A and B are shown apart, each in its own frame.
Chain A
């Protein structure tokens, strides 16, 4: 694990200073409403308090945008917690220094382009937009209609969505899927090293309880690189 650099601290302060006068609550400026008018999600400062160990690869400014994006991709809503609580961005931040390192340049340019596009087309930084406007920006990015990206914005969107899935539904060993939020959402009964015929039948009778285990909780396996 690397610690946040002094440069990043300074950058973060600058970004917060520019984005909002409320330094200790950087993300509260926008209303939280489901994409289709669902119930309000918990205020983001709760989620912000959950994360906020030192960033490993992304800058604080990039992380703020990414947090806001994944909160729309897999929102917290009537169906329970989403990518925010699963800490998908923590997974991405860590992996960008390891297995996903080749995507680091795409995040640098893509997140900057997304924010520029939000400002030019909707008049405010992405994190400052309403959920509805954030969604409409993301639809533009998804369909390739957003301008200012290196190549098609759709490619960047596909990357973001894929990595958000990885961070929400991947093994918690890699830093996401906190408290097995992703696996519970889709009723995945859990990683097992053996599934008997009786257990398969229990599953078929909706009687197999999720076991909430990471692949690496036992010492059966050589640990993969956690990055």
Chain B
């Protein structure tokens, strides 16, 4: 029998990038919050500059509930299930994946909120790809701007503004929507190579700019500036210069005295009371079962786990899973088409041994609807990103551009000369939701407690593949302008697989027939259930999701704090 704990105002499932943000406005409003986290605390001593551990061994070796429930995946409902990965792309810890992510902290562009209406207006309804279930967001960028601003200042983001209240700054992104003020910190420093790439983009008539990063370019809030030591990619920060929620919003929420952090809490289901309202959360710690009653439940795990947890939480009121009486949980799933990059070889050293993946130069000329799609056969686009990031084992595994075999004396001579002469671009391409791309529970694979894992059924469609080919052309053009002597393109995607940029499954929108949560992030069917994370996002844009998911989480939490009595479950 589970031990029933004392009721709390709000229980947050997962204290990662979004749950860790939501805790702050709630506790600052005096609301009692219990944060259930499957992982443990990690500190700067846990973050050694160790490529083997970070990049090859599924760091960290802590409590990893996630690795016991890695989703399965297949391209379509009639495809075989692909071999299951051995490492979940996200991690459990206080701070979650915000500890070891790249920390690129982008706002979405205005078009991303109005893909349907803007496409119809500019090109006609026929240009919405067939089979897509894309909708406009229930609000525009202007609604989210104050929350982007709060998060940027609360956690700390370095960057160069391109548009302050409509006034354009040529050093920043000319395509970004208006912001009220500059970033709290200047951008991360450049390198000789990044300056060269920026110059090449300008000579093509493009608009390069340094990208935004949740990493301190100078000391901020009494935490250190970045040390540029080169182990940020899947590594935590040894000086707390990466602004994870574990060193920003979570400690601040704890300081209010209103946040109780429970680590090693493996949440299994959300309980629903006889009134049809969620009444609390069941979890297991080291084999002991607990029930944490709460007036409001906020689900803040990752996209796959959000959908999975709702589908596993069956009750009389919700026989097909919590908030799933309209059968929208798991629908409108998509992931960024992050693959299909371009690699280049240069006849000179790039000096990329030090730096971080969030230190780079972006071009947004070919993202979203920043260019005329009239003569083209797709909508959307991609953000082109070059950055300073290299470590020795990865360098040894470099692309040899078809010039030598992958081993032996010729290879050895090649890497001796070229280990620091290649560059890999990262092209994030907008992806749409489609009728036949979805998440559900795997009929076979289970976690060690016997619960089915999440199953991804999704593939990139023609629109995504055309964006990929188009942006690869642009990337090659950029590299050639900077002096590249060889180019190689990665294959354009088929099956989506399991991703770090996973969206949907609990989409936000005004129509309960097609969306799980309303414009505030609360369930259409179970009003004291809120959902946080990119799982509520209906479009991806061409930029990393974390800052948008964090801004949405702040907005949902603030709405809850202001309307607590209306939203909270009354004891039945």
Judge if B415 is at the interface, Cβ distance under 8 Å. Answer: yes
Judge if B351 is at the interface, Cβ distance under 8 Å. Answer: yes
Which of B297-305, B392-400, B431-439, B539-547 is near enough to bind chain A? B392-400
Judge if A222 is at the interface, Cβ distance under 8 Å. Answer: yes
Q: A188-B395, A194-B229 are in contact. Are A74 and B407 (CB under 8 A)?
A: yes
Judge if B565 is at the interface, Cβ distance under 8 Å. Answer: no
Which of A20-28, A32-40, A42-50 is near enough to bind chain B? A32-40
In the complex, chain A residues 55-97 whose Cβ is within 8 Å of any chain B Cβ: 72-75, 77-79, 82
| B419 contact from A102, A186, A221, Cβ within 8 A | A186
Judge if A148 is at the interface, Cβ distance under 8 Å. Answer: no
Residues on A with beta carbons closer than 8 Å to the beta carbon of B401: none
Number of A-B contacts (CB under 8 A): 136
Judge if B56 is at the interface, Cβ distance under 8 Å. Answer: yes
Judge if A149 is at the interface, Cβ distance under 8 Å. Answer: no
* A199 to B355 CA separation, bound complex (whole angstroms): 12
Q: A168-B396, A204-B191, A225-B61 are in contact. Are A77 and B412 (CB under 8 A)?
A: yes
Q: A73-B407, A74-B407 are in contact. Are A188 and B227 (CB under 8 A)?
A: no
- What is the chain B residue whose CB lies nearest that of A180? B392
| A161 contact from B53, B238, B406, Cβ within 8 A | B406
| A186 contact from B45, B53, B420, Cβ within 8 A | B420
Interface size of A by Cβ–Cβ distance < 8 Å? 53
Judge if B52 is at the interface, Cβ distance under 8 Å. Answer: yes
Are B50 and A215 in touch, CB under 8 angstroms? yes
- What is the chain A residue whose CB lies nearest that of B191? A200
Judge if B228 is at the interface, Cβ distance under 8 Å. Answer: yes
Residues on B with beta carbons closer than 8 Å to the beta carbon of A169: 392-393, 395-396
* A1 to B53 CA separation, bound complex (whole angstroms): 20
Interface size of B by Cβ–Cβ distance < 8 Å? 43
Q: Shortest beta-carbon distance, A119 to chain B, in Å?
A: 22
In the complex, chain B residues 52-66 whose Cβ is within 8 Å of any chain A Cβ: 52-53, 56-57, 61
Are A77 and B229 in touch, CB under 8 angstroms? no
- What is the chain B residue whose CB lies nearest that of A202? B351
* A66 to B415 CA separation, bound complex (whole angstroms): 22
Contact mask B376-396 → A, CB, 8 Å, 1/0?
A: 000000000000000011011
| B412 contact from A79, A102, A171, A223, Cβ within 8 A | A79
Q: A197-B189, A221-B238 are in contact. Are A186 and B49 (CB under 8 A)?
A: no
Residues on A with beta carbons closer than 8 Å to the beta carbon of B227: 193-195
Contact mask B515-550 → A, CB, 8 Å, 1/0?
A: 000000000000000000000000000000000000
Cβ contacts A to B, 17 pairs, < 8 Å: A36-B409, A72-B408, A82-B412, A99-B52, A162-B397, A166-B56, A183-B392, A185-B412, A188-B353, A189-B354, A191-B49, A191-B229, A206-B349, A215-B49, A221-B46, A222-B48, A225-B61
